[in-house]
């Protein structure tokens, strides 16, 4: 029941923000003063839902404390955090177009923008609240795949407006989201309840996609099609890392 409440709160908050974006043309861009507040409401649906439910249940300090928890994070989790950026470096020589230089200021702005309009608004909810409660019941891998499906569905309204997401073919995006969900779920599961690796892995996934444009993958579909197989390999490696470190296959029906 509590998970149903989380999903109801998440989608109610996010859809309220999206409705304003949809019906107010000036709010279509998160880079505008009018649009930014509504985009923040939409993106922060999962984390706000987790915060509200944690306040109700008296667990808010535990949730927030796990955002900065470092002591339980193993080296393999940090490797998963860095994997998307390493992948971009490996794939850069194979880009269909020439690279474009970008300054340090733009990179810093990109990191801050992606952090606020993505990982911080989502990961307290998806991983810190939802995965934390699903892992013991259905296994971490099944939980990751279920969250991936929910996560994909949660993003779908963005294909009804002119947004960066709408430029990506839906099947490609669906494949990527499922890979991301497994990789981030593994980083979270390996980290003893810390939400920090999930936030940072989500961030590097987004940054890799953004930086790919400057690396020569100017058509988003060229990056998403070229990197789908490598991300699938990373997701399979992530499953292996969790199994070899914990002996946990991730699916309860397998019996271990």
pLDDT tens string 123-155: 999 999 999 999 999 999 999 999 999 999 999
State how far the Cα of 132 lies from the Cα of 68, in Å rounded to an integer. 16
Residue 64 confidence (pLDDT) above 80: yes
1-5, 66-70, 86-90, 251-255: lowest mean pLDDT where? 251-255
Distance CA 71, CA 58 (A): 24
pLDDT on residue 46: 98
Percent of the chain with pLDDT over 70: 97
Nearest partner of 151 among 169, 170, 177, 130, judged by Cα = 177
Rounded to whole angstroms, the Cα distance separating 138 from 135 reads 6
Determine the Cα–Cα distance for residues 225 and 171; give it in Å rounded to an integer.
10
pLDDT band at 249 (very low <50, low <70, confident <90, very high): confident
Rounded mean pLDDT of 1-13? 93
In this prediction, residues 82-111 reach a mean pLDDT of 94
**Per-residue model confidence (pLDDT) at position 138:** 93
pLDDT at 235 over 60: yes
CA distance 54 to 187: 22
Looking at every residue in the chain, the average pLDDT score rounds to: 94
Q: Which of the four pLDDT bands, split at 50, 70 and 90, describes residue 255?
A: very low
Q: How confident is the model at residue 247 (pLDDT cuts 50, 70, 90)?
A: confident
């Amino acid at each position: 029941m509590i998970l149903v409440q989380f999903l109801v709160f998440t989608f109610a908050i996010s859809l309220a923000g999206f409705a304003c974006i949809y019906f107010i043309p000036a709010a279509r861009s998160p880079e505008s003063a009018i649009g930014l507040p509504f985009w923040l409401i939409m993106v922060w649906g999962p984390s706000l839902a987790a915060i509200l439910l944690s306040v109700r249940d008296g667990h808010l300090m535990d949730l927030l404390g796990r955002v900065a928890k470092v002591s339980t994070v193993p080296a393999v989790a940090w490797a998963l955090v860095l994997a998307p950026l390493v992948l971009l470096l490996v794939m850069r020589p194979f880009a269909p177009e020439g690279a474009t230089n970008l300054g340090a200021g733009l990179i810093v702005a990109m990191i801050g923008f992606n952090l606020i309009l993505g990982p911080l608004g989502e990961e307290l909810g998806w991983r810190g609240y939802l995965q934390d409660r699903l892992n013991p019941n259905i296994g971490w891998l099944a939980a990751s795949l279920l969250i991936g499906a929910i996560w994909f569905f949660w993003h779908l309204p963005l294909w009804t407006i002119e947004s960066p997401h709408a430029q990506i073919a839906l099947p490609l995006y669906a494949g990527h989201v499922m890979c991301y969900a497994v990789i981030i779920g593994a980083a979270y599961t390996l980290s003893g309840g810390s939400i920090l690796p999930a936030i940072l892995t989500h961030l590097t996934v987004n940054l890799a996609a953004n930086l790919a444009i400057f690396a020569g993958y100017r058509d988003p579909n060229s990056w998403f099609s070229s990197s789908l197989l490598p991300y699938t390999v990373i997701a399979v490696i992530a499953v292996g890392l969790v199994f070899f470190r914990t002996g946990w296959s991730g699916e309860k029906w397998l019996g271990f």
